[in-house]
């Protein structure tokens, strides 16, 4: 019987760890960290953060409306574009998600979550090498980004590159020792690798 690879939920910017707690929320800085910002940008920050919490609660359409309102107030918010891309990815609107990530990365080329989220679109479109490239760029910017290691490992698995996948899943486990998906997926890879190495019966 073939072993199935366990797939994480497609959440990107809002990530829940194995205990169910939010691990990464792309909230914008609080007011005291956003010195010199205009009232419109400050209002956009509040609406964006409200949208992130709605996205986390699974209220995708409401979250999307908030991200669009935030972008009307602050068209240079890379994080708003990334979060809207997350909402679109959750609806399998891959091309729209890709366009949002491209715009976010034009604004801020160091946005690790932007590359991670952009990797979901090629994955959804089955362009796996492009997805790997984006996840790799996210990891270059943020080596502690467990979800990027997990997603890249999944892409390596689909390409039957089991040693590379095992390395990526092991990185996830080093960062988050309670990550059941990483343990499961690494086990699948060890199993597949063992089948390859097993001598054929005559």
pLDDT (tens digit per residue) in 141-184: 999 999 999 999 999 999 899 999 999 999 999 999 999 999 99
User: Are 122 and 50 contained in the same domain?
Assistant: yes
| Whether pLDDT at 202 is above 50 | no
Q: Helix 146-158 to helix 180-197 angle, to the nearest 10 degrees?
A: 30
Q: What is the pLDDT of residue 67?
A: 96
Mean pLDDT value of segment 45-73:
93
- CA-to-CA separations, 22 to 18, 115, 167, in angstroms, rounded: 9, 20, 25
Q: Name the pTM for this structure.
A: 0.76
Helices marked H in 57-111: 60-73, 78-90, 94-107
In whole angstroms, give the CA distance from residue 82 to residue 88. 10
Choice between 10 and 129, residue whose per-residue pLDDT is larger: 129
Mean pLDDT along residues 82-100: 92
User: Phi and psi dihedrals of 185, rounded to 5?
Assistant: -65, -35
Split into its structural domains, the chain has a count of 2
* 88 is a domain residue: yes
Q: In which domain, by residue range, is 22 found? A: 12-140
Backbone angles phi, psi at 11, to 5 degrees: -65, 140
| CATH number of the domain encompassing residue 127 | 1.25.40.10
- Does 154 or 198 have the greater pLDDT score? 154
66 and 23 together in one domain: yes
Do 51 and 74 lie in one domain? The reply is yes
Q: How far apart are CA 47 and CA 83, in angstroms?
A: 12
Domain-embedded: residue 6: no
33 and 87 both lie in a single domain: yes
Percent composition of the chain: helix, strand, coil (DSSP 3-state, to 5):
65, 0, 30
Q: What is the pLDDT of residue 196?
A: 63
Give yes or no: residues 75 and 100 share one domain. yes
pLDDT at residue 125, as a whole number: 76
| Confidence grade of residue 122 (pLDDT, cut at 50, 70, 90) | confident
């Amino acid at each position: 019987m073939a072993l199935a690879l366990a797939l994480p939920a497609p959440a990107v910017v809002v990530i829940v760890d194995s205990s169910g707690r939010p691990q990464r929320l792309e909230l914008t800085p609080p007011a005291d960290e956003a010195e010199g910002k205009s009232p419109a940008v400050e209002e956009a920050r509040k609406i964006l953060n409200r949208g992130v919490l709605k996205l986390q609660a699974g209220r995708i359409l409401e979250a999307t409306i908030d991200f669009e309102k935030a972008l009307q107030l602050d068209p240079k918010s890379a994080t708003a574009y990334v979060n809207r891309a997350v909402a679109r990815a959750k609806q399998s609107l891959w091309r729209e998600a890709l366009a949002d990530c491209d715009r976010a990365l034009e604004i801020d080329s160091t946005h690790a979550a932007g590359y991670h989220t952009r990797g979901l679109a090629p994955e959804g479109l089955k362009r796996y090498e492009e997805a790997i490239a984006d996840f790799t760029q996210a990891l270059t910017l943020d080596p502690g980004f467990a979800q990027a290691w997990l997603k890249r490992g999944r892409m390596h698995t689909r390409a039957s590159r089991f040693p590379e996948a095992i390395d990526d899943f092991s990185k996830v486990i080093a960062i988050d020792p309670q990550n059941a998906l990483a343990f499961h997926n690494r086990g699948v890879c060890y199993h597949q690798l063992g089948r390859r190495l097993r001598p054929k019966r005559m």
